[in-house]
Structure 1
Amino acid sequence: MASENGLPAEIDDLSLADPPSLDNQLSQFRMAWQREIIERQPSSSESSARNSPIDGGITEHNVKELQLAKLSKEDKAKLLFVEGIKAEENGNVLEAVDLYRRAIQLVPEVESMIDYRPVPSARERKESENSVEGCVIEEDEEELDLVAKFMKLQVESKTICQPDWEQRSVHISVLPVEVLVYIFKWVITNDLDMIALENVAMVCRGFYLCARDDEIWRRACLKIWGVNTGKSKKYGGWRNMYIERPHLRYNGCYISKASYVRPGERNVDNLYRAWHTVEYYRYLRFFPEGTILMITSPEDPVKILHKLKHRGGKPQGLLRGVYRMTDNKVTAVLKRVKTEYLTSGYARYKRRLLNVNQNEPERTFHLELEVCNAGRRKYAQMVWTHYSVHQLRRLTGEESVAEFDLNNKTYPPLYFSRVKSYTASADRPLQ
């Protein structure tokens, strides 16, 4: 019920009281009234309190304090820390320090609980929702697979990639697609380092699309299988053919480790005889044009692998030959490479002595191996299926064949190991 003055009856009855008591009750009523409005409409009360604060009423500081009072301890610390960040960005260093101090007093590890990711705007959220809805409406359930989506992406000549910040020099994004694909052919090199291409594809979306160019993978398939390449429709693309069809790896070596036990000499009293465990490695390296290198050595791979980097190397004990691959079978014929001698007079005399016996047999090594998967690594294992040595005596024309008994102890499977130094530099791009 209102009085003639337009005030509530409770306030009109207070006119009989003393002036100090009336002011106190009016201020209390204002406080209660403002608090009730804030609880019902927080946004409108905060804006009204911020724009036109009432003397003796709720100010902006009081509104924040009321908000903090309703939050939990962790949420209160997070809010204070975020307010401190905003104050620091606005240049209010003292206020920011005070807010940081209050937040850390509540929760010491509050900084690790803050999510610094930018909040997307309403327009960005709407665009993302529309794009997702469009994918769901237009595509089938099978096409929602991530790999299928990536395979459907296409290169746009003007949007290969964009620099993250302003560049003073020319950025790679200004290059056309054709030039970028040519650069990728240099990354692969003529020895088919396809792993390097996959690593480059992880740089950005544009590089990923350029690395999936059909021309690159078609050339790689032709380099491996030549006239027996066939058509890519059977596999759904040239890249799928390279992945699914058995092939060799060229950016490293196939290595196996074997061991055997041999008896040693007896001691003086003939009561003790030593036994020695001999360990040795067998290395195989293939080149795309059909060259194969093989060497057996007791030395560790670190000392041997660099000797197989080039096709024309002549380390001691090297076998060089040619190979051919049919399905998942590799057949090869190798001959021992003669080690180069020094050009000194004694070296020439020793070489003449070695060539005295003209009836020394000429040996050729015949290998047959099967390419298999090594767990999740595709075509990273080679299993021996045949190994023989053919000897031909030049003077008599006699030929003999010695076949080896293959077992996992003397001829264990060879496993592929990538050697980065083989493709660290390139003489020619993929052709």
Structure 2
Amino acid sequence: MFKFDFQLEEEDEDVQIPSLPTPTAGPSTTRTAASIDPTQEKRSLTDAERCHDVSLDELLKSLPVEISYSPLYHSSLETPLLRRDLFDARFQLYNRAESTAHPDAAANSDPDPTGNRQTEQAGNAAEGDEYVDAQTDLIPGLYEGGLKSWEGGVDLVEVLNGVGVEGGVGEWVRGGRVLEVGCGTSLPTAYLLRSLLSIPPATTIATSTVKTTFHLQDYNSLVLSLVSLPNLILAALPFLPTEVLHAPDEEEDVEAVLPDLEQPGNIHITPALIEAFKALLQEKNVELVFTYGHWAGLAAELQDRNPKDSQRGAGYGLILTAETIYAEESHQSLLDVLRAGLKKGTKGIEHVDVGLEESLGDLKVGDEWKRRPLRDGGDGFVLVAAKVLYFGVGGGLQGFLERVKASGGWYKNVKEWVKGVGRKVVQVGW
């Protein structure tokens, strides 16, 4: 069993990737039917291959009354990025399992006379109970490691922080459509959302008709509710009214009890905070979309939304994915998603092969993708963050990139880290 030297969670926890057992249905499995290709006829999906959308309101209902968070410091960031603590997410899972073990109490508290919500909650709790105590970060077909923060997500944040358009990252992403595949803790999307919300109000008012969409996908629905959405809310905290940030029963001066957003702490998820968060999204014209399930289903759904004969400009201008290529069996499914989801723009993008020696160090100033806002009419592209090799699992970056080229795509290195386990961020497109 291989242990990563790089850890982002509690210092006393080992971040591990185990050897894979025989695959079952899930993102890390081989599909027996022909792969979904945007240029070919669709096929029927099995139940295990389907994906499902869940609304922001439904996810908000699943939030606890309080969450614990810690700042993620990085040399490329002026202020730390907040993320929910892993132990806090696990504690919520334990509480879910406990409430499921007492169905009478759940029935008395559930206003839904059909019992559908009880059934769904029981299913989610059972799902979480399967992996919350597991001594592994990967259970193929059940849990794909989404509760933890992995270094690839932080690498994407560092790369995105290097965008050089006037007005910064927020202006670059404003009006764009972004999909994060296998989002887990959603650190890259949280960073983009925070950057967008930081745009001065005067600029926002002048361009409020331009919608920005962030679409987050993970295999597990519980990952979306336990860490993905909470981290987006934490990213928005600096821009919410101060009166919604303090404990609901505090009688002290509000300014004296406001949380320090650069230190570990707790935030009460009150109805007032939730409404303020939704109002902020509406004010900034931000749409949040959430999907869980298999990549085969996601590829089919994206193909329906963005058919090959649709008008140019449909699809996503940026697709992000980190630490999702560790199993070779999943490469084709992931490629199907990336190809089906990419926007085909009204302007082309220059595809230049870049040698390894040219890609080391900081991002090249000449990279076109970082100089053109996502709302412009260029082709969409993908940023893939991955380890060069996933020991004990079988996957690796080179094998994935060979599949990209075989499918008619292109790639170039964006940035590389050679200390410890080798890692890269690579730009991919078709």
* Fold match (TM-score > 0.5): no
Which has the higher Rg, Structure 1 or Structure 2? 1
Q: TM-score, normalised by structure 2?
A: 0.18
The higher relative CO (CA closer than 8 Å, separation ≥ 6) is in 2
Higher strand share: 1
Q: TM-score, normalised by structure 1?
A: 0.18
